[in-house]
Amino acid sequence: MRILLVGGRGTIGRAVAAELAPRHEVIEAGRNSGTVALDLADGKSVRRALDSLGPLDAIVSAAGHVGWGPLLELTPAQWDFSVSNKLMGQVVLALVGAEFLRDGGSITLTSGVLVDEPVVGGAAASLANGGIEAFVRAAAIELPRGLRINAVSPGVVRESGDDYASVFRGFEPVPAARVALAYSRSVEGADTGKVYAVR
């Protein structure tokens, strides 16, 4: 398969690339790294990147930044940042990407543990994650040509533990390689409209 991987240089993205690359052609894209420049917050950037690549068999997003802060202190800019990156950025990637997928192709987006287990300061992330999961379920019943769409909802990734330890006290970390298996299941399996929670 020919797979576009957005966010391939992040902790999860590197694990997904390691899982899929032995069997498929993985093309990495990112705002500041990868073979192709792609900024999820910029719909024109998404289309330019896809135009440059041509037909694909799968699109995987392991990216999406969010704003953090106490609920009543989050600024409109922080809410907008979270929505335009993690939520609408991935939605636009899926909608535009559908045009470039071969029949039966797949789209895999990323939500996260905060959709089910909120933490102080993470309201914007919870909002974005919940939106992604609702979108995936709705899009699955309307995508044409046998296209599939799923989401992976990772827990706290062990390899990122030090960066987020103070926020996620008591959460059991999961290895990035185990999270990557859920992306493989989405890309190489037959499911659609599923959310794979890896906890």
Strand order in the sheet with 25-30: 36-37, 25-30, 2-6, 56-61, 101-110, 148-154, 195-198
**Tokens standing for residue 21:** 């690359």
What average pLDDT is seen over the chain? 96
Residue 163: predicted pLDDT: 78
**Tokens standing for residue 55:** 């037909």
User: For 113-170, what is each residue's pLDDT tens digit?
Assistant: 999 999 999 999 999 999 999 999 999 999 999 999 999 999 999 998 777 778 999 9
3-state secondary structure at position 183 = helix
Residue 165: predicted pLDDT: 79
Residue 40: predicted pLDDT: 96
- Give kind and range of the element (H or E) at residue 139: helix 123-140
CA contacts within 13 A on the Cβ side of 139: 27
Q: How many beta carbons lie within 10 A of that of residue 100, not counting itself? A: 17
Residue 71: predicted pLDDT: 98
- Return the CATH number of the domain spanning residue range 2-198: 3.40.50.720
Reference 42, options 10, 85, 9; nearest CA is 85
* Burial class (CB within 10 angstroms; exposed 0-12, middle 13-18, buried 19+) of 7: buried
Domain ranges of the chain: 2-198
Ranges of the chain with pLDDT below 70: none
